[in-house]
Amino acid sequence: MTVSDASSAGKPTSAGLRHRVAGYLEALARALRRSGRDEGKVLVLGGVRSGKSRHAERLVARHPHLVYVAPGLPAGEDDPDWAARVAAHQARRPANWKTVETTDLAGILRTATEPLLIDCLGTWLSRVLDDVGAWRQKPGWEHRLDDRLEDFLAAWAAARVPVVAVSNEVGSGVVPATSSGRLFRDVLGALNNRVSADADRVVLVVAGRALDL
């Protein structure tokens, strides 16, 4: 080893410096996402009664104006349990939030001018599966389903306002006993993967505790 080699041995190379800087920037980005200052698109996952909706509501609480997108079935007298769940969600919403009940998530994402909270993708998918005839195995339902999902995913990728989407985490439970249950689990699991891949932040909520993924 020459003298010049020895003197430069302890100095970081330009490639090493770039690697360190990239690491610092990524750590800073993670810290900003955790603090909520770098919001972008956020996916909040969790099981039933995990606290995922409450956590999502806290993430968007500081916005003076927000559109709450409810893509599930409206409350009805034929299902008092569902009606009670819907009422509980409605009671938590601040007066300055606007509620939109629709399954056209792609349209909402493309035209939004204010922050969005979508709660949740699981109830939306259930309605979409019904719309395309998946439960009844109507001919062509797979293609119709693919079109709906791809339309939503394209709109999600192109969203220009802060969006928090809530979804059910379906990968931790037992294999459903029915074919319809397995279909729902498989499609929602694949959808969560696609949404997560194009999200700025993904949070898993378990027993009310949030974990950044």
Measure Cα distances from 51 to 20, 46, 54, 69, 118 in Å. 37, 7, 5, 18, 15
CB 39 within 8 A of CB 203: no
The 8-class DSSP code of residue 13 comes to P
DSSP 138-176: -TTHHHHHHHHHHHHHHHHHH--S-EEEEEE--SSSPPP
Compute CA 205 distance to the chain's CA centroid, rounded to the nearest angstrom.
12
CB 71 within 8 A of CB 123: yes
Torsion of the alpha carbons at 93, 184, 51 and 68, rounded to the nearest 10: -20
User: What backbone torsions phi and psi does residue 169 show, to the nearest 5 degrees?
Assistant: -85, 115
> Is 191 in a helix, a strand, or coil?
helix
CB 163 within 8 A of CB 110: no
Please list the active-site residues: 89
Cα 119 from Cα 114, distance rounded (Å): 16
